[in-house]
Structure 1
Amino acid sequence: MTTTRRSPGVIAAALSALVLLFASAISAQPRYSDSGPEPLLARVFEQIEQNKWEPALQQLEALIKAYPNFRLAHLIKGDLLLARAKPLKAFGEGSTDAQRDKVADLREEAVARIKAYKNKPAADYIPRYLLQMRTDQEHAVVVDTQKSRLYLYQNDNGTPRFVADYYIAHGKLGADKLREGDKKTPIGVYHVTASLPRQKLADFYGSGAFPISYPNEWDKRMGRNGHGIWLHGTPSDTFSRPPKASDGCVVLANRDLDDLSKSLQIGLTPVIISNSIEWLSLDDWQSERGALLAMIDEWRGDWESMDIDRYARHYSKKFQSGRQDQAGWIEHKRKVNAGKRWIKVEARNISMFRDPGRDEYVVVTFEQDYQSSNLSNVMKKRQYWIKEDGRWKIVSEDAA
């Protein structure tokens, strides 16, 4: 019996949207990554785009061998095999009506993976939010929810250096969390607070989980609530989840989470979640960083001067610390200074992270060494700075 072979163009047509995505991405002159399934997946679409469907099947076999429960790879393989027998009109045509939603999810995953693989940021560009990492912060995590991607940066003597990136799933209803149960992922500046091993978790959370500090002080001030936002893995029978699949957590494949976990420091590693990352050239990043550092040093010097008017100009009209507003805070400092002959303030080991959301604050944390004629102490302090009338000002200040 003779088997009729369909034109390879039929296969390309069946996966046309993804093939076009691949072809357009090539022109972007990407910086390639060789981690995760994306390189093999990209080669599959490259073979399809070139009408080389047998090599494409071979690449799919290699992909499935490396990632046995990668459902997207199995779906593409099914399409290619089905195309041998009949023309295909749509991605995932061999699936049943009941599977259509899952097929749509897998197509979204394919688009997200290939876009991210083929359009990586240039090596000399930095997420705008990583203004300065403390010396003991070895890495930083930045999440782009629109691209379903997590980027890992290393602290290279104060300059963030790209290390790796991973596909992620996030909230079913998108980002910018406001309320408990809204199925959204928060946007803001957070840090890893704990490590929960697999043994203490349901299989749903995969190989582990890392809770983050949502809601932070700013979220609470803005009236945002909710809890239980984690970085976590996938169930044992699932390689990855669709781009919008969680109740607000950031979800990685277990292999990726295990790899990422080697770089996470409990209580230290910043996790900055954005809707869409804004990138800066190294020169622009250094300029923004230098401008804010200069303002912090000016604040410190004006405090030492004991000139309360100079000191007060650094505080926003919206300032709040506990129950004190701007006027109450300045009056308190005026009374304290009245009993002193001199003040010396040093700010050491400063970190500065810019909020990626609409609030655009910068959270600044440092070790404060305060000495005066009648009191000395050392404490860890956290300030929130915002732009007010074109000038950086402190809107919140408390012990960290």
Structure 2
Amino acid sequence: MRVAFFVLTLVLSATTAVAGGWAPLLSSHSYGPKRIIAVDKEAQELIVLEQQSPLHEVRRFPCTTGQSMGDKAVEGDMRTPVGVYFVGHRINRTLDWDLYGNIAYSLNYPNPIDRIKGKTGSGIWLHGRGKTFLPRDTLGCVALKVPDMKDVALDAAYGTPVVIADDVNWSPEPGESEVTALTLAKTLEAWARDWGAKDEKFFSYYDGPLLEQSEGLDFEGFEENKRNIFASQPWIQVMVGNVRAVPGPGYWVTWFDQYYRTQGMASTTGKRFYWVQDEQGDWRIAGREYVPASEPLDAQYLAAKTGEAREVVEKWRRAWLAGDVAAYEKFYEPDAEQGDRRGATRIAEYKKTLWEEKPPVTLEVDDLKVALHPKGLKVAFDQVYADASGYGDRGRKTLILVPEGDTWKIDSEQWRRMR
């Protein structure tokens, strides 16, 4: 095993082949996780690695894996699977001390790629072992001595990636992984954007036949259901955050938090996507897993949309101040409300008549606040106005903005005079 220390975030960057097995090279790229539990089957070692500027080996322990050599294929073959897995829930039941010690965590074997490959079996754990400790002595699990498992449990938070390989190495260089991880992150952003746009391109990110194999999904039914949702919702917005990525043997895994919002409804969930390359070299989603989000994204979403709302209000203000009726009208929904006026056309006609007689000379916006609203966003601000006749007023303006494409339109506008 070759060890190196580096400054950047840890991730699996490349793989090399060893005789009959998988040998990933752990290295650095922008979307790597902060912690990885690596299992080296050949060396019978478990290594906890963290990014602590530089990469820091937190702990290293002897471990024992399956009695049979090679990658797990079928139930009962006594092999430990090779690939990228994730720590699941702690096993909360009485454990056989000799076999499992007193701490055990499930791993998500078989993962979607395993199911595509037709692998069978289940119940692969990361656990302790109370009896005499021997190499290659489990039925397929990864086991450690009881005191060592107690230490590893400190780092085995739900969702921690566990890389199980025949041989594990690492390097300070990001190599090709930086390019691949960035490609996947950008593809994920495009997937979210096209979902929000209700664009048919959304379906092209998936490998339908492989998705059917990995989760028993009727892909045509999936498409039909999504199109029905597209048709029933006036708008959809999707944001992804906390994106992480690692490669496995012949695939990559990304995991992220997803914020999904439609009119009157919002939710945050965690997802894992398993990506494979098609014949053209493009990455396609072959499998999915739903997990709890690592954190709520409401605040991040609102911060992003606050910036968009400020930009819309500023452009709207400039159109008003310039007396540009055509540009001003474009900021309103066709059936928008402005006081007792209904419809963008009527609003524009009113402003046209008013501005021809009394052109605006001052329009100031201050103390702008943005909040979520069932229809989209509620934007409130102090407005100071004056026209060429000498008239002026000051009030609190409230706009309800609704999404339209990649911008926002005014659905309603109310004003209250301030004393």
Q: TM-score range by the shorter chain?
A: 0.5 to 0.7
Q: 2:254 aligns with which of 364, 385, 388?
A: 364
Larger helix proportion of the pair: 1
Pair 1:249 & 2:141 matched:
yes
Cα distance between partner residues in 2 of 1:349 and 1:318: 29
Report if the CA contact (8 A) 2:67-2:78 is conserved.
yes
Q: Percent identity?
A: 28
- Residue identity opposite 2:227 in structure 1: R
2:46 corresponding residue in structure 1? 150
- 2:206 aligned with 1:315, yes or no? yes
Mapped partners of 1:221, 1:291: distance in 2: 24
Aligned to 2:165: 274
The structure with more radius of gyration = 2
**Aligned equivalents of 1:371 and 1:361: distance in 2?**
30
The aligned amino acid for 1:288 is T
1:229 to 124, 134, 144: 124
Does the 8 Å CA contact 1:155/1:161 hold for their aligned counterparts?
yes
Aligned residue in 2 for 1:122:
4
Contact 1:152 1:162 (C-alpha < 8 Å) held by counterparts: yes
User: C-alpha distance in 1, partners of 2:93/2:261?
Assistant: 47
Alpha-carbon distance, 1:334 to partner: 2.8
**TM-score normalised to the size of structure 2?**
0.56
Match of 2:271 among 353, 363, 381: 381
Instruction: Give the whole-Å Cα distance in 2 for the aligned partners of 1:370 and 1:307.
Output: 16
Q: Do 2:245 and 2:252's aligned partners in 1 also have CA atoms closer than 8 Å?
A: yes
Q: Give the superposition deviation at 1:307.
A: 2.3
Alpha-carbon displacement from aligned partner over 1:122-153 (angstroms, at most 9, x marks no partner): 1138533777466xxx6321112123222212
The question of whether the paired residues in 2 share the 8 Å contact of 1:152 and 1:163 is answered with yes
Q: 1:373 to 1:204 in 2, by over 3 A?
A: closer
2: CA distance, partners of 1:204 / 1:330: 46
Residue identity matched to 1:275: D
* Counterpart selection for 2:281 from 390, 393, 399: 390
Contact 1:139-1:264 within 8 A present in 2 as well: no
Q: SS of the residue aligned with 1:287?
A: helix
Question: What SS is found at the alignment partner of 2:149?
Answer: helix
The correspondence for 2:150, drawn from 254, 258, 265, is 258
Give, in angstroms, the shift of residue 346 of structure 1.
0.4
Question: Which amino acid in 1 is paired with 2:281?
Answer: G
| Equivalent in the alignment of 2:369 | none
Unpaired runs of at least 5, structure 2: 14-23, 292-419
Q: Deviations over 1:96-144 (max 9, x none)?
A: xxxxxxxxxxxxxxxxxxxxxxx4321138533777466xxx6321112
Given that 2:259 and 2:267 are in contact with CA atoms closer than 8 Å, whether structure 1 keeps it comes out as yes
- Distance of 2:174 and 2:272 partners within structure 1: 27
Cα distance, 1:222 vs. partner?
3.3
Deviation of the 1:286 alpha carbon: 3.2
Does the Cα contact within 8 Å between 2:87 and 2:108 map onto a contact in 1? yes
Q: Which secondary structure does the structure 2 equivalent of 1:291 belong to?
A: helix
CA contact (8 A) 2:86 2:108 kept: yes
Alignment partner, residue 339 of structure 1: 232
CA distance in 1, matches of 2:289, 2:123: 24
Q: Say which structure is richer in strand.
A: 2
Quote the offset at 1:154 in angstroms: 2.0
Residue type of the alignment partner of 2:4 = A
What letter matches 2:142 in structure 1?
V
Query: In 2, Cα distance between the equivalents of 1:224 and 1:301?
Result: 34
SS in 1 for 2:168: coil
Q: CA deviation at 1:281?
A: 4.1
Q: Distance in 2 between matches of 1:262 and 1:294?
A: 33
Residue equivalent to 1:140: 36
Q: How many residues align?
A: 270
Corresponding residue of 1:182? 77
Superposed displacement of residue 170, structure 1:
1.4
| Contact 2:197–2:236 (CA under 8 A) maintained in structure 1 | yes
Higher relative contact order at CA 8 Å, sep ≥6: structure 1 or structure 2?
1
Shift of 1:250: 1.6
The alpha carbon displacement at 1:351 in A equals 3.3
Could you tell me how far 1:325 is from its partner in structure 2? 4.1
Corresponding letter in the other structure for 1:249: C
Q: Give how far 1:347 is off.
A: 1.0
TM-score, normalised by the number of residues in structure 1:
0.58
Q: How does 1:54-203 map to 2 (within 5 A)?
A: 119-124=1-6, 126-128=11-13, 132=31, 139-156=35-52, 161-195=56-90, 200-203=95-98
* CA–CA separation in structure 1 for the residues paired with 2:106 and 2:234: 46
Q: Look up the SS of the partner of 2:150 in the other structure.
A: helix
Given that 1:300 and 1:345 are in contact with CA atoms closer than 8 Å, whether structure 2 keeps it comes out as: yes
Q: Contact conserved, 2:95 with 2:101, CA < 8 A, in 1?
A: no
Q: Which secondary structure state, in structure 2, belongs to the residue aligned with residue 166 of structure 1? A: strand
Report the 3-state secondary structure (helix = DSSP H, G, I; strand = E; otherwise coil) of the residue aligned with 2:152: helix
* Distance (Å, rounded) in 2 between the aligned partners of 1:191 and 1:216: 9
Q: Residue type matched to 2:180 in 1? A: E
> Which residue type is aligned with residue 273 of structure 2?
Q
Equivalent residue letter for 1:146: E
Could you list the per-position Cα deviations for residues 37-94 of structure 1 after superposition, in whole angstroms to 9, with x for gaps in the alignment? xxxxxxxxxxxxxxxxxxxxxxxxxxxxxxxxxxxxxxxxxxxxxxxxxxxxxxxxxx
For residues 280 and 154 of structure 1, the distance between their equivalents in structure 2, rounded to whole angstroms, comes to 14
Q: Does the CA-based 8 Å contact 2:277-2:283 persist in structure 1?
A: yes
